[in-house]
């Protein structure tokens, strides 16, 4: 799942981005309204986390512009403005959730994940591919009854492959869904994670490479 964080406070923006990445999200970071607007135009996001007090405008204006254009990407407003009128104003402009600073990083990650899942509905919460079971809400994977220990990135890649089991998922699609703008498309980051997954999934092999195209999880 890919998230855009729009926060002009450099330290807080870096902290939020790092916390969400640690929770398994791919995160892009914008420092102002114009940068966020540009990133939204060229990328597909599962959720936006937007500060209100941006140097070139109110984050709510960004939300309203998205809603006026018909875009329904979930939005979490992240702000120090904690008055009831401010929260109501946020929801009136189309925000889906409102988190007041200071906040707990774990709670923010949980709220973002809940909004991403809500947008995906009616997606299956449990995916089974042969002897492989992917429990999406609990972020657990079992192979033939054995619990596998996966990193957040490995889980994200496997989740997408399992969701599209039997179909080829290209490297570009994996990078778009599971990495952020810091990933170099020509690098071997996807191959490294896939190799780690193959080792952890064990025998018989489930994950196949389609040379020159991408990868598929054999049903």
Q: Tell me, what CATH number does 89's domain have?
A: 3.40.50.2300
Range from 91-100, 175-184, 193-202 carrying the lowest mean pLDDT: 175-184
11/110 same-domain check: yes
Mean of the pLDDT values across residues 45-64?
92
pLDDT bucket at 182, cuts 50 / 70 / 90: low
Provide the residue range defining the domain that includes 90.
Answer: 2-120
pLDDT bucket at 198, cuts 50 / 70 / 90: very high
User: Cis peptide before 204, with omega less than 30 degrees from 0?
Assistant: yes
pLDDT digits (tens, 9 = 90+) for 57-113: 899 999 999 888 888 899 999 888 888 888 888 888 889 999 988 899 999 999 999
63/116 same-domain check: yes
162 against 120, higher pLDDT? 162
- Specify the pLDDT at position 114: 87
pLDDT at 1 over 90: no
109/10 same-domain check: yes
Task: Give, as one character, the DSSP assignment of residue 22.
Answer: H
136/89 same-domain check: no
151/101 same-domain check: no
37/20 same-domain check: yes
The region, left, alpha or beta by phi > 0 then psi within -120 to 50, assigned to residue 139 is left
97/25 same-domain check: yes
pTM flag (> 0.85): no
Structural domain total, the chain: 2
pLDDT bucket at 120, cuts 50 / 70 / 90: low
Cα dihedral sign for 63, 65, 66, 68?
positive
pLDDT at 118 over 80: no
15/40 same-domain check: yes
141/73 same-domain check: no
111/151 same-domain check: no
The C-alpha atoms of residue 72 and residue 63 are separated, in whole angstroms, by 10
45/9 same-domain check: yes
> Shortest CA distance to 96 belongs to which of 22, 37, 136, 46?
46
> Shortest CA distance to 8 belongs to which of 61, 58, 63, 64?
58
pLDDT bucket at 122, cuts 50 / 70 / 90: very low
- Specify the pLDDT at position 199: 93
116/58 same-domain check: yes
Spatial contact of 12 and 23, defined as CB atoms under 8 Å apart: no
């Amino acid at each position: 799942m890919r998230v855009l964080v729009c926060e002009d406070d450099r330290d807080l923006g870096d902290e939020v981005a790092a916390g969400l990445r640690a929770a398994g999200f791919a995160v892009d970071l914008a420092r102002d309204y114009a940068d966020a607007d540009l990133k939204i135009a060229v990328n597909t996001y599962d959720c936006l986390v937007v500060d209100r007090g941006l140097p070139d405008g109110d984050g709510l204006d960004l939300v309203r512009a998205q809603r006026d254009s018909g875009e329904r990407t979930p939005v979490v407003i992240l702000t120090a403005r904690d008055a009831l009128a401010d929260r109501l104003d946020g929801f009136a402009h189309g925000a889906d959730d409102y988190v007041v600073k200071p906040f707990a990083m774990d709670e923010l990650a949980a709220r973002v994940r809940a909004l991403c899942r809500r947008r995906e509905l009616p997606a299956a919460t449990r995916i089974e591919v042969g002897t492989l079971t992917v429990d999406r809400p609990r972020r657990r994977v079992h192979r033939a009854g054995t619990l596998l220990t996966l990193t957040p990135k490995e889980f994200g890649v496997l989740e997408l492959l399992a969701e599209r089991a039997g179909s080829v998922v290209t490297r570009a699609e994996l990078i778009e869904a599971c990495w952020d703008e810091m990933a170099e498309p020509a690098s071997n980051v996807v191959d490294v994670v896939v190799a780690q997954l193959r080792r952890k999934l064990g025998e018989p092999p489930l994950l196949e490479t389609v040379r020159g195209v991408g990868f598929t999880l054999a049903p």
